[in-house]
Amino acid sequence: MRLEDFYACLGGILSEELIRELRNQWAHSPQPTNELIYEWVSGLGDAQVLREVLYALGTHRGSRESQFHTPEGVSTLIAKLAETDARNSILDPTCGHGLLLSAVAEVTKPSVVHGIEINSQAVEIANILLGPTASITNGDALA
């Protein structure tokens, strides 16, 4: 992804001031690497802003990246379907950044939220997004 495309993704989500700070911080980077993006996204802290940024990046980046985000509309639909049969615990064995798991957890309000993800950077982001009540494990659920 070109750096200008990355900033365009963030345009409707972050303030112009924050985007300007980010531009200055990355002034010498020809394009943001996944490592740089993960580091920056992890530092956002605010779960709602983090969720919006991840959905925007997922929509813009498409299938060229190793992380495939469930589109926001699909996550919302699945969460509404899960609401009709709410359980005490939920598990996403390939949770990625935790966007779908977060949407379902918000609606069903389970006492236990578990996720498994092979990408350690995505695990860090899922932990930020889902908070301390969730248990996100770094591992391969399909192995």
The predicted model gives 107-136 an average pLDDT of: 88
**Given CA atoms 55, 96, 30, 44 in this order, what sign does their dihedral have?**
positive
| pLDDT at residue 38 tops 80 | no
Whole-number pLDDT of residue 135: 95
Q: Which two tokens stand for residue 29?
A: 């980077």
Q: Are 14 and 98 in contact (CB under 8 A)?
A: no
Task: Let me know if 33 is exposed, middle or buried by CB neighbors in 10 A (0-12, 13-18, 19+).
Answer: exposed
Whole-number pLDDT of residue 88: 84
Alpha carbon distance 91, 94 (integer Å)? 9
Whole-number pLDDT of residue 68: 65
Q: Tell me: the pLDDT tens digits for 53-112?
A: 776 666 544 444 456 667 777 878 888 887 767 678 899 999 988 888 988 888 888 888
How does residue 117 score in pLDDT terms, banded at 50, 70 and 90? very high
How does residue 6 score in pLDDT terms, banded at 50, 70 and 90? low
pTM value surpassing 0.75 = no
